[in-house]
Amino acid sequence: MPVKGIKRVQMNTRKVLANIAGPRTEKVLTEVMIVGSSYAAALTPIDTSNLINSQYRTLVSIPGGMQGKVGYTAAYAAAVHGMSGKLKGQPREHFGRTRAGKEFGGGTGKGNYWDPDAEPGFLTKGFERDGLNEIKAIIRQGYKV
């Protein structure tokens, strides 16, 4: 008994795979970056808003597929992200002025360190802890056939 429609099945399979490898993956990665970066933004320390306003995301095509990146352009972002957080919840100290009249110390004198909800490792935690379930759901939904 001859089988009919093999060529049509092969063509449709190629179309589906091309869609998954191209626009569908781009859409899913964009959604994942938006969700993860929004969770990260909620954990980002806000003193002058410079750090939170410097957040960016890029989507790049690489030989094996697509790569999404979320980061901060502020020069001190990596240092803040890598802090131990041992000052979390303690008041911001202001140590005064030097003899030359320059202010020095560890803060603005307002609020507490890492307040109100900020945490060290905020970018990693936004994706791997807080947004993980939502990210998994986006991936599941995005690749349904």
Task: Give a yes or no: residue 100 inside a domain.
Answer: no
Torsion-angle region of residue 136: left (phi > 0), alpha (psi -120 to 50) or beta?
A: alpha
Counted domains in the chain: 1
Task: Give a yes or no: residue 52 inside a domain.
Answer: yes
At 78-127, the pLDDT tens digits run 888 888 878 777 777 766 677 777 766 655 566 667 767 788 899 999 99
Q: What is the DSSP string of 42-71?
A: HHS--SSSHHHHTEEEEEEEETTEEEEEEE
Bond preceding residue 23 cis, omega within 30 of 0: no
Task: Give a yes or no: residue 134 inside a domain.
Answer: yes
pLDDT of 14 above 70: yes
Region 47-58: mean pLDDT is: 87
Task: Give a yes or no: residue 113 inside a domain.
Answer: no
Domain of residue 21 covers 6-83+120-142
Q: With a threshold of 0.85, does the pTM exceed it?
A: no
| Sign of the Cα pseudo-torsion (134, 137, 143, 145, in order) | negative
Task: Give a yes or no: residue 92 inside a domain.
Answer: no
Task: Give a yes or no: residue 26 inside a domain.
Answer: yes
Task: Give a yes or no: residue 127 inside a domain.
Answer: yes
What pLDDT score was predicted for residue 5? 86
Task: Give a yes or no: residue 1 inside a domain.
Answer: no
